[in-house]
Amino acid sequence: MAENIQEKIDSVYNTLSKGHRKIADYIKENYEKASFMTAASLGQTVGVSESTVVRFASHIGFDGYPEFQKHLQEMVKNNLTSIQRMDAAFAAGDEDLLDRAFAADIEMIKGTRESVSRSAFAGAVEAINNAEKIYILGVRSSASLAGFAAFYLSLIFDNVVLVDTSAASEMFEQMFRISDKDACIAISFPRYSNRTVKSLEFAKSRGASIISITDGQMSPIAEYASHLLVAKSSMVSFVDSLVAPLSLINALIAAVAKERNEEVHANLEALEEIWKQYHVYSNGEDKK
């Protein structure tokens, strides 16, 4: 991504104004820091106005500064180490990190809602509801999303397998029975896990329906998808925001449940009795 941006800059460099050249020169040497900066903070750093930064992004071929920044962040997400990402984020400015985190999450959810494929979403719901067995896998930070999906889908189905991803060899042992009658929900966000990619390669070779939940067409798990669900992600430092993927998974579970309304209703009624009998949840009256 950064190489593409540099190519864009190089192609028009001789036509840039003095202010735009300051921005271009800074980005060339400090793209990892620039990727976290607002237009205002980038302008302040190089000594130009915020509007000059916005015009620069448009001049080199982007729809605006947000798109320009997104391309810079893609490079940072995919290629820098966690330490480099944290250093770059903290060097980007003194903005309120709480405000930055919430603002980024809001934008990610909005962007995901507007761009997610409705046909892919509907196809994923159908594949899950028709599967003989549902395999769910996510490695490292994505494991929390996989666990969340498995917990709620298990309230609907009795055929859910949450793949233990602690060891690569054991992943294949858990999945070796997967077939063309099954569905596999795979979740992966930068930095992408090779274990997830290899597991999907295996599942695809067995004919399983693959539901890939990731951040874009360039993700290594996108090519295996029967149904590709794209959720946008961002980062405040070395931490990847998974709020938008979680919202997408919430919607997926709700849509699956809606198709099986009576069955889910019966399951939940039975579970409520069990939870009540064994005091699974506090009702505010339990004694300590």
Q: How far apart are CA 215 and CA 242, in angstroms?
A: 10
Please tell me the class of the 2-95 domain.
Answer: mainly alpha
Tokens of 33: 């820091």
Contact 69, 35 (CB under 8 A): yes
Give the residue-averaged pLDDT of 44-55: 94
Helix (H) or strand (E) segment spanning residue 24: helix 18-34
Using one digit for the tens of pLDDT, what is the confidence trace for 148-182?
999 999 999 999 999 988 777 788 899 999 999 99
**Backbone phi, psi, residue 146, to 5°:** -65, -40
Domain with CATH 1.10.10.10 in the chain: 2-95
Domain(s) of CATH 3.40.50.10490: residues in the chain: 117-277
DSSP annotation of 224 reads G
92-116 average pLDDT score: 80
Alpha-carbon dihedral 287, 280, 141, 217, rounded to 10 degrees: -140
Task: Convert the pLDDT of each residue in 214-234 to its tens digit.
Answer: 998 889 999 999 999 999 886
**Cα(253)–Cα(246) distance, rounded to whole angstroms?**
11
pLDDT tens-digit map of 70-88: 788 776 666 666 666 666 5
**Element containing residue 135 per DSSP (H, E):** strand 134-138
Q: What is the Cβ-side half-sphere exposure of residue 173, based on CA atoms within 13 angstroms?
A: 7
Give dist(CA 39, CA 66) in Å, integer: 9
CA distance 217 to 157: 30
Q: Across residues 47-63, what is the average pLDDT?
A: 93
Per-residue model confidence (pLDDT) at position 2? 46
Cis amide linkage into residue 21, ω under 30° from 0: no
Q: Which amino acid is at 200?
A: L
What pLDDT does residue 190 have?
81
- Write the class of the CATH domain 117-277: alpha beta
> Residue 111: in which H helix or E strand, if any?
helix 97-115
Task: Tell me the CA distances in angstroms from 11 to 24, 77, 85, 120, one per residue in order.
Answer: 12, 25, 28, 37
112 touches 231 (CB < 8 A): yes
